[in-house]
Chains A and B, each alone.
Chain A
Amino acid sequence: MLIYKLGKGSREKVQQFMTITGASEKVALQALKASDWHLEGAFDFFYSQPQISAANTRRLEEMYNKYKEPDADMIMVEGVSQLCNDLHVDPQDIVMLVISWHMKAATMCEFTRQEFIGGLQSIGVDSIEKLREKLPSLRAELKDDHKFREIYNFTFNWAREKGQKSLSLETAIGMWQLLFAERQWPLLDHWCEFLQVRHNKTISRDTWTQLLEFVKSIDPQLSNYDEEGAWPYLIDEFVEYLIENGFVQRK
């Protein structure tokens, strides 16, 4: 909707809106349309969204440039360490995983421009300080069942080596330990031990996703485990391993 097609009154409102909020014309039109051309409603609309103004977008670009590689359009390992430093968090901290999830990052320890900026926008911050303040609430997202599942499933693709279909065992174990420290799964140590002793190969996506179901639905005594069910064979083997070694009682 081009502005010259609007009536005089509407055009004025757009101008006013832009002046007050610093938003772009496009955003102004969007907000006013959403509020049926009432200025106050448009303000409410604008500020209830995590919309960043033009100035904010500039700030985000500055942030990105601070951390990106000198000769590539990516933030890589060094930049990420720097970022963690500035946030006062350990690079191994699980909150980095949450942030990466918001950014929809394709690979561990790498952010493209779009991922970085888009992610921060969706989190709703435009500076390091603001991001630092947000850290507790980001951590809290792990407590939400639905979000945890999304983050968990995201982790598989994210932690994979580029071009690989499955996840290396070492990385998988590391990730599981990280994720289930938050969720307290009593069989975690046995699981990792079992994998190293008996499996010693990569982890498929199916195994990864099904493990979460296993953790969520099967009690640590395995009283409701159905070996005739559709569990992946690796989990069946794990159950056998637990029974063989006397970690749980056979039914």
Chain B
Amino acid sequence: MATKQASTAGSGDADAAGQQQQRRKVIELEEGWKEMVVGCKKLERILAAEEGVGFSSVEYMHLYTTIYNMCTEKAPNNYSEQLYDRYPEVLEDYISKTVLPSIKEKHGEFLIRELDQRWKDHKIMVRWLSRFFHYLERVFIPRRRLPSLKETGWNCFRDLVFNAHKTTVTTIVTGMVDEEREGQIIDRTLLKNVLDIYVELGNDMKLYQEDFVVAFLKGTADYYSKKSQAWILEDTCPEYMMKAEEYLQKEKERVKHYLHSSTEEKLMEVAQRELLAKHTDQILKKLLFDDKVEDLSRMFRLFSRIDGLAPVSKVFKEHVNEQGMSLVQQAIDAAISKKSEKKDVVSMLELDFVRKILELHDKNYAYVTGCFQNHKEFHKALREAFEVVCSKDVAGCTSAELFASYCDSILRKGGIVKLSDEAIEENLDTVVKLITYIRDKDLFFEFHRLVKKLGRRLLFEKVGNEEHERSMLSKLKQNFGEQFTSKMEGMLTDITETKGEQCKYEAYIEAHLGSNPWVDLSVTVLRTGHWPTYRTCEINLPYEMAALLLLFNDSERLSYSEIVTQLKLTDDDTVRVLHSLSCAKYKILNKEPSNRTISPNDVFEFNSKFTDRMCRIKVQLPPSDEKKKVIDDVNTDRKFAIDASLVRIMKSRKISTHHNLVAECVEQLSRMFRPDVKMIKRRIEDLITREYLERDKDAVNSYRYLA
């Protein structure tokens, strides 16, 4: 009874509380909505930039609370859904009444300016409304998983305003970009803002890509297509390159100023394609290699961007080849026309040719390391071009022989070519590089070593500077291995040691016999194997005659005055000696004119045709045979090399097909020369006969190693 009473009393209290709650008046929908409309109207005035208009805290609170109340009532007075539906209507209303008309009446830049402004306004509007309607975000929207107020609000703009005008806007924007390209100043900030709209409104950049970028890239392509066609006709190659580089740089900056960063890659690709890739051939046709280094470097820079270096290197190679071949042709023509004249003149032409080839190489090598940034494509192009040039013969000489002659002339004392020490080293460096282009390198080594060259220089003390000789040999050794240089190093060592011994001997003689020996002795020690075999000259002659003849080792023709100077005999003695050699029974020298008296105007030539059955005289063979001998020796060495290589391969493989054997043999030997496939075949047959190999009975075209 007591509790019941108590509860009655409690329920009375509860009722009081409930009444208190229920005392909050229910706001009907239209009623509440009216309040909101007032607020929206004020908002519009704010947007219209009316002075002195703003929301006070009280107004804001009121609006917020109105929504709150309408959303927290129990049904049927809970108007969340209706409010959610009406919210965008506010915006739509404003858009159709105010925004769209204002945009419609404008064009061009004014249009997008208006759009930009209206978008800003819209964002503000959405922000304010979202604050008023905020409570919807707390319960209703999450529960129903609906789009947020912001999203809904922005979508209004997109659907009603933006989508209606986006094509126009894109056209205007791309138009403005083209103006800027043409050099006009445009409002970059405006463009940036407008393009930001695409980015903000488009889900995940889809709007930006589809509705802007596609058209933009096409416009860019069109623009550069026209431009490049005009430039190609008007400009020289360097001018074109410079413009291209400039415009491409500007495109890159454009991105920074108002385009989205994701556009950069595609934009550059399109521009480069139109400017460079599509016109590669024409540009390269215009390319003159006498252009400045900066121009070539620019060309390299630009083309490496579009991965288009292959055509450039091709043009480079053709250019080098052309220049090289024209030098070759010049030399051949000159040699033919000078054929009737003296030999010395011809050799001057050949040396001149080599010098020009060296210059050509140095110049183009500088291009490769400089403008072309040491790119391997260009190294390759240079190499291939020179391989062709160096494979041609000039005046019956292979380039191997010519290079050896050239080395001879710069290394010997009193040679035709006189250079400073530094220049000598540089020249030798270039020669070594050029040797790598020669197919049959072993030929060079043999000539270099042979009678006319190193051997002769050493024997007849014509070595200009021993340092240079050693330096050349060490360069050759570094590049080509020891195999060929070991003999030549041996020759140098022999001479050095000899000199040492000679000095000791002379000191000894001095000490023991006084300074008047009966015999003037000088000895040269030649270790066999290092030196080529020489045909010796056995002539029984008095000292002066021998000395005179030795002068003819350097030059086939000497005038009287040259002989006098070099021999340092008196005139009387010189005349006597010359007479005995050219006018007596044995004409070892030919005299011009061929009368029987010696006069100061005479010229003497070594009589290479001299033979006599009576005397024990062996005459040196004419130079051309020397050359043949070199070639024969090289061929013999090659046979041995091929045999050794074949046996080596078969020993390790035991069985091999013919094709594989030949291919491997060629590869092994290619460092030094290119073996003739026919020669290899014959060597294989020879090895079969000598029972190193046999044909495989079970497999056709195969061989077996015979242990």
Given the known A-B contacts A229-B701, A230-B702, are A206 and B688 also in contact in the complex, defined by CB atoms under 8 Å? yes
Q: Are B685 and A204 in contact (CB under 8 A)?
A: yes
A213 — nearest CB in chain B belongs to which residue? B700
**CA–CA, A119 and B376, complex, Å:** 74
Q: Which of A205, A210, A236 contacts B689 (CB 8 A)?
A: A205
**What's the Cα separation between A204 and B659 when bound, in Å?**
22
B678 within 8 Å of A (CB atoms):
yes
Q: Is B579 an interface residue (CB 8 A)?
A: no
Docked Cα-Cα span, A209 to B684, in Å, equals 15
Q: Which residues from B are CB-within-8-Å of A207? A: 685
What CA separation (Å) do A232 and B682 show in the bound complex? 7
CA distance A9 to B445 in the complex (A): 90
For chain A, residues 21 to 54, give those with C-beta under 8 angstroms from any C-beta of chain B.
Answer: none
Would A230 and B689 count as touching, CB distance under 8 A? no
Task: State whether A228 and B659 are in contact (beta carbons under 8 Å apart), knowing that A206-B695, A233-B678 are contacts in the complex.
Answer: yes
Known: A204-B689, A206-B688. A230 touches B678 (CB 8 A): no
Across the interface, do B658 and A233 meet the contact criterion of CB distance under 8 Å? no
A190 interface residue (CB < 8 Å to B): no
- Proximity string of chain A (197-208) to chain B, C-beta cutoff 8 Å, 1 when within and 0 when not: 000000011110
Q: Which of B652-682 contact A (CB under 8 A)?
A: 657-659, 678, 681-682
Cβ-closest chain B residue relative to A210:
B695
CA distance A213 to B700 in the complex (A): 10
Q: Is B703 an interface residue (CB 8 A)?
A: yes
* B682 interface neighbour in A165, A209, A213, A233, Cβ under 8 Å: A233
- Which of B659, B685, B703 meets A232, CB within 8 Å? B685
The distance from the CB of B583 to the nearest CB of chain A, in whole angstroms, is 50
Q: Which residues of chain B are within 8 angstroms of A205 by Cβ–Cβ distance? A: 689
B231 CB to closest chain A CB (Å) equals: 52
Name B687's closest neighbour in chain A (CB-CB). A206
Cα of A156 to Cα of B695 in the assembled complex, Å: 17
Known: A206-B695, A228-B659. A233 touches B689 (CB 8 A): no
Kindly state the separation between the CA atoms of A232 and B701 in the bound complex, as whole angstroms: 11
Which residue of B658, B681, B688, B695 contacts A236 across the interface (Cβ within 8 Å)?
B681
Q: How far is the CA of A204 from the CA of B700 in the complex (A)?
A: 19
Question: Which one, A165, A210, A228, A230, contacts B703 given CB within 8 A?
Answer: A230
Task: Report the bound CA distance from A165 to B702 in whole Å.
Answer: 23
Q: Is the CB of B702 within 8 A of A206?
A: no
Complex: A166 Cα to B686 Cα, angstroms: 12
**Which residues does chain B contribute within 8 Å of A210, judged by CB atoms?**
695
Which chain A residues lie closer than 8 Å to B688 at the CB level?
204, 206
Q: How far is the CA of A230 from the CA of B684 in the complex (A)?
A: 9
Whole-angstrom distance between the Cβ of A220 and the nearest chain B Cβ: 20
- CB neighbours (8 Å) of A165 from chain B are 689
Instruction: Return B233 CB to nearest CB of chain A, in Å.
Output: 50
B92 → chain A closest CB, angstroms: 84
- In the bound complex, residues from chain A placing their C-beta under 8 Å from that of B685 are 204, 206-207, 232-233
For residue A232, which residues in chain B have a CB less than 8 angstroms away from its CB?
681, 685
Bound complex: CA A210 to CA B700 (Å):
11
Q: B682, A230: Cβ atoms under 8 Å?
A: no
CA distance A236 to B684 in the complex (A): 14
Q: For A229, what are the chain B residues with a Cβ–Cβ distance below 8 Å?
A: 658, 701
In the bound complex, how far is the Cα of B700 from the Cα of A229, in angstroms? 9
CA distance A233 to B680 in the complex (A): 10
Task: Tell me, rounded to whole Å, the shortest Cβ–Cβ distance linking B55 to chain A.
Answer: 96
- C-alpha spacing A166/B4, complex, angstroms: 143
B interface footprint on A58-85 (CB within 8 Å = 1, 0 otherwise): 0000000000000000000000000000
- Enumerate chain A residues within 8 angstroms of B681, measured Cβ to Cβ: 232-233, 236
How many Å lie between the Cα of A165 and that of B689 in the bound state? 9
Q: How many angstroms from the CA of A237 to the CA of B657 in the assembled complex?
A: 21
Q: Which residues of A contact B695 (CB under 8 A)?
A: 206, 209-210, 230
Instruction: Select from chain B the residue with minimum beta-carbon distance to A226.
Output: B701
> Are B658 and A206 within 8 A (Cβ)?
no
Cα distance, A89 to B688, chains bound together (Å): 38
Of all chain B residues, the one with the shortest Cβ separation from A166 is B689
A183-207 CB contacts (< 8 Å) to partner B: 204-207
A59 to B657, CA, bound (A): 53
A236 to B658, alpha carbons, bound, how many Å? 14
Q: List residues 214-237 of chain B with CB under 8 A from any CB of chain A.
A: none
6 contacts between A and B (CB under 8 A): A165-B689, A205-B689, A206-B685, A229-B701, A230-B684, A233-B682
